[in-house]
Chain A
Amino acid sequence: MRDGPMPGVPGAGVPAAPGRGGRLVGRSVPRREDPRLLTGRGRFVDDIALPGMLHAQFVRSTVANGVIEAIDLTAVHEVPGVVAAFTAGDLALSDIVAQLERPEPEFVETAMPVLARDRVRYVGEPVAIVIARDAYAAEDGLEAARVSYTVRQPVTSAAAALAADAPLVHEEAAHNTLVDVSLCATDGIDEVFAAADRVVRVDTRTGRQNALPLETRGAVAHWDDREEQLVVQTCTQVPHQVRTVAARCLRLAERAVRVVVPDMGGGFGQKSVVGREEIATAAAALRLRRPVKWIEDRKDALSASFLAREQHYDVRAAFDADGRILGIDADVVCDMGAYSCYPFTAGIEPLMASAELPGVYKVPAYRVRGRAVATNKAPTAPYRGVSRPQYVMVVERLFERAARELGLDPVEIRRRNVITDFPYTGVNGITYDPGSYLESLDLCARTLRDEGWYERRTAAAEEGRHLGIGYACFSERTGYGSAAFAQRRMAVVPGFDISEVRMDTSGAVTVTTGTMSHGQSHETTMAQIVADELGLDIGAVRLHQGDTDRITYGWGTFASRSITVGGSAVRLAAGKLGEKLRRIAADRWGIPWEETALGRGRVHRRGDPAVTIGYPELADLAYLRAHLLPKDIEPGLSATATFDVFNDGTFSNATHGVVVELDEGTGRVEILRYVCVEDCGVAINPQVVEGQCRGGIAQGIAGALFEQVTYDAQGEPSATSFLDYKVPTAHEIPEVTIHHLETPCAFSATGAKGAGEGGTIGAPAAVLNAVNDALRATGVELDRTPLTPETVHRALRGLPEPAA
């Protein structure tokens, strides 16, 4: 399973993965990013100050559903320091529209105006932009704004949105349904369920969460007269997509907009969509011909940015008497809030869940309906894992429940069902490349067993304490190329990446990527790849990312695509440059270039490593004495390569094992042990992978136990500060032990699979299963997150989950 390429997989011609044989690849090289970030010399968006810069803030809707009757900004202009204030009417911008190429009623297109025009659809929706000489004056200006609304009854839950007489969030979307797709329906599935030995059902709800980068969103925009360009410096995961939307909304050519991304304080998906505020800020800067800065405050970030994850699953699974799964029948409803995000659309959550729900298991029959429903809440963006934390939780609950009903061990029932023969084409039509599903499950379970947790669980039960052990076994599709994204049928199809590698006259290298690091360490990992390919020190390689003028095109960073796709492009480009260096050297020696090879910073003759030419000398030829080059070699040293994935992508996988203890008095869930066995193929930098893993697990635990934005009947959000939105600290997040398995990807140029989201995906299921295991004696099973202490406390007294 570990070696040999997958039969029939495209990408042939890509050189064999260097694997752990690389000098730098596979090692925990210290990060290039760290020195500046540790000394306070990073440059985040709020650190930017331009001469004459103004400061923007937004007048935001105070009602969840209403018609704007009047916007009176007269008093705003009187506030000392206020320079300007604009409404939608003043700026006359085009709307932001995200599209799926699906017919109605599978998809209903809706528009998100940059500033609300006549309707407001959630509390916090931007209605006007106020620009002042300092940030305090801008805040003062907001208070002077008068907006009157005719208030309408808001729709504050998916169930209410789907009710027959529900008010409509968008007039064009009947039943408030933006997406309604059935991606799979196996023939005869009803008969499968009718004939099954056992049918179990899970009805799950997950809370609305905030991805919560510690740095809020923000932008600094200015018009550059010399370049005839609007320059937007903004913390975004998708710089080119921001450029496209800014250009279209402002009716500029794309070359007249330059998006530059400074250091970023996290994103986790929230910054992978185009926000209205950065476009409005850019529009104000263009209008005023002055630099304008907007920095979102925490209150707005919590309540009025992009949220995620509020989903309802009603799922049945059929099993035979031996615990083999026969079929899954799923109904998925995602509460997407008021607008469809660009570029992914409101389909992002239901389509992800629908396509990939069967996960790591051999499910012979599958039927799914996935819906995106509009409500009067802040809109949603992809958030780390996108639906996978939810459906993995559902599927893992199904297996636990079936194990209980059939009297099987929870690990054993999974063992009987996980995919073990690869490549495996699932009932969902997706082909899974090799992974270590069974191995990770066995290693994780063995670790907890060897550590004596099962004995401790028994001993605790005898003392009347509530110890539980839970698992989650799952895979994570990464490296989505154009082909995989095309199946979603977005009007814009992400996937490929382009890289350019350039060597200067001193032999040092700069490399570009269309991906966008916001904590993932690309400056280090991409440099490791290039340095290995060309035999350079890591210090000789510098990465450029996040500048639409420097980078031909890019899809940014999301869906754990950066190392699989971006890293492959980087390696291929470096390989091309290496070939050019060899050709120049070969010409000097008068031999075919195939008889040369790359060494440490030099080209040498194959079979005679003593005969070498160093890169500086070759660079000297390529640039400064180009008259000596042969005719068929162009002066200069640069190479460009693209990479795309033409199959279904590559699947990382993991098993998480968790031990919890429930506090009888308070209902508090304490995590006593957390073990993660992960496999992301070749880890370019194992320390970075572990960091992604631990950080992801922390966010998964946050969703399982702590974080939720709720809304009252008027659509007022509950969470407007960190006092109401409980972000876990070092007090709540446990130590995590990580074991690595390595099943290299056969078609990425480095053997790497994505590693960004797995931690977040597995944690909620594992924690929830452990809590249910601890509740075993009570007969109560919990299926909703976050699991509050109140719910757990009630369950410990034998009381079921409150009705939804």
Chain B
Amino acid sequence: MTDTDTDAGTDSDTGADSLPVDSSPVIGRELQLITLEVNGEEYEVITEPRRTLVDILRHELRLTGTHVGCEHGVCGACTVLLDGRPVRACLMFAAQAEGAAIRTVESLSDGADGSELSDLQRAFRSHHGLQCGFCTPGFLMLAEGFLAERPQATKAEIREVVAANLCRCTGYQSIVEAIDSCAAARREGEEK
């Protein structure tokens, strides 16, 4: 590195005179109008047909809780619920989700400001089921969908389901334990 510290950095050659002023869709591309139902609200979006569901959720609707870890369907960071079933939002086009009820991590908590954690979220917290938290929304939605379908799930079954997604921080054990304890508490609640 050369050590020429000047206090300016105001290189006048910006080359930016004729730049567009916003990031709205690029002229000349094929566009479509789609309607999505996300967390109980309807949204209309004008977009290119090639855009994935996760991109629309994150960058158009600004629901950035759903994450992207691979864009090729392996890591599960993008997991959302489509009519109650966990899906990889990076593997489908947004248009394919029309007509379905989409749920994202933003829908899990309660309260006027959405800060009341659900039992599943509380279980993740008390079991240290997250470190960096990047994979967490995907695991939460995976578990939310799975437990709704199979409330009787054993710990071994939960481990099998958790194996659908990747986490690089936790070693998975605390995620399995969090989901298992949430399932057990729900079952106990039912019995009472």
Chain A binder among B6-14, B145-153, B183-191: B6-14
Determine whether B63 belongs to the interface, using a CB cutoff of 8 Å to chain A. Answer: yes
User: How many A-B Cβ pairs are below 8 Å?
Assistant: 240
* Contact mask for chain B residues 1-43; partner A; CB cutoff 8 A; 1 contact, 0 none: 1111111110101111001111101111100000000000000
* In the assembled complex, B163 has its CB within 8 A of some CB on chain A: yes
Mask for A239-259, Cβ within 8 A of B = 1, else 0? 000000101111111111000
| B168–A727 touching, CB < 8 Å | yes
Contact A733 B171 (CB under 8 A): yes
Assuming the contacts A54-B23, A722-B74, asked whether A35 and B117 have C-beta atoms less than 8 A apart, the reply is yes
Q: How far is the CA of A698 from the CA of B174 in the complex (A)?
A: 12
- Whether A691 contacts B175 in the complex (CB less than 8 A), given A83-B20, A252-B9, comes out as no
Let me know if B72 and A298 touch, CB within 8 A: yes
Does B114 sit at the interface, judged by CB under 8 A? yes
Contact of A38 among B77, B117, B132 (CB under 8 A): B117
Q: Does B46 contact A (CB under 8 A)?
A: no
Residue of A nearest to B68 (CB): A46
Chain B residue nearest to A685 in the complex (CB): B128
**Measured between alpha carbons, how far is A688 from B55 in the docked complex, in Å?**
33
**B124 x A287 contact (CB < 8 A):** no
User: Shortest CB–CB separation between residue A11 and chain B, in angstroms?
Assistant: 30
- Interchain nearest-CB distance for B47 vs A (Å): 10
Docked-complex contact B134 and A44, CB < 8 angstroms? yes
A722 touches B26 (CB 8 A): no
For residue A40, CB closer than 8 A to chain B, the reply is yes
Closest residue to A291 on the B side, CB-wise?
A: B23
A723 at the interface (CB under 8 A from B): yes
For A697-720 the 0/1 string (1 means CB < 8 A from B) is 111000000000000000000000
Contacts of B114 in A (CB 8 A): 39
Contacts of B130 in A (CB 8 A): 34, 37-38
**Contact status A253-B172, CB under 8 Å:** no
Give the segment of A263-271, A385-393, A444-452, A540-548 that binds chain B: A263-271
Q: Please, which residues of chain B bring their CB within 8 A of the CB of A214?
A: 67, 69, 75, 77, 132, 134-135, 166-169
B125 interfacial contact with A, CB 8 Å: yes
Contact in complex: B117, A212 (CB < 8 Å) = no
Residue of A nearest to B126 (CB): A30
Give chain B residues whose Cβ lies under 8 Å from the Cβ of A216: 69
Q: Number of residues in A with C-beta < 8 Å to the partner? A: 88
Give Cα distance in the complex from A259 to B4, angstroms.
20
Assess whether A731 is in contact with B1, with CB atoms less than 8 Å apart: no
A264 CA to B166 CA in the complex, in Å?
A: 16
Distance in angstroms between the alpha carbons of A252 and B7 in the assembled complex? 6
- Is there a chain B Cβ closer than 8 Å to A620's Cβ? no
Complex contacts, B71 vs chain A, CB 8 Å = 297-298
A252-B5 contact, Cβ under 8 Å, with A136-B48, A136-B51, A266-B134: yes
* Listed stretches A94-102, A321-329, A609-617; interface member: A94-102
Interface residues of B in 112-170 (CB under 8 A from A): 114-115, 117, 121, 124-126, 128, 130-137, 140, 159-160, 162-170
- Residues B108 and A286 in contact, CB atoms below 8 Å apart: no
User: With A46-B58, A52-B23, A687-B128 as given contacts, are A730 and B64 in contact (CB-CB < 8 Å)?
Assistant: no
Interface presence of B66 (CB below 8 A): yes
Looking at the complex, which one of A53, A81, A286 makes contact with B26 (CB distance below 8 Å)?
Answer: A81
CB pair A288–B15 under 8 Å, yes or no, is yes
Complexed CA–CA distance, A694 and B175 (Å): 12
Taking the nearest CB of chain A, how far is it from the CB of B145, in angstroms? 16
- Tell me, yes or no, whether B181 is within 8 Å of chain A by CB: no
Complex Cα distance, B6 from A264, in Å, reads 31
Determine if B162 and A730 form an interchain contact, defined as CB atoms under 8 angstroms apart.
yes
Q: Are B132 and A519 in contact (CB under 8 A)?
A: yes
Closest 5 CB pairs of A and B: A40-B65, A265-B134, A37-B133, A519-B132, A694-B171
If A133-B23, A266-B131, A730-B175 are given as contacts, then 20 extra A-B residue pairs at C-beta distance below 8 Å, sorted by A number, are: A31-B125, A34-B130, A39-B109, A39-B117, A40-B64, A46-B64, A46-B68, A81-B29, A134-B23, A214-B169, A215-B132, A230-B9, A251-B6, A253-B5, A256-B9, A266-B168, A691-B174, A695-B168, A723-B72, A730-B176
A-B contact pairs, 21 of them (CB 8 A): A30-B125, A38-B109, A39-B108, A41-B65, A46-B68, A54-B23, A94-B2, A214-B67, A214-B166, A215-B67, A215-B134, A230-B9, A248-B5, A252-B6, A256-B8, A266-B131, A266-B134, A298-B70, A691-B169, A691-B170, A722-B72
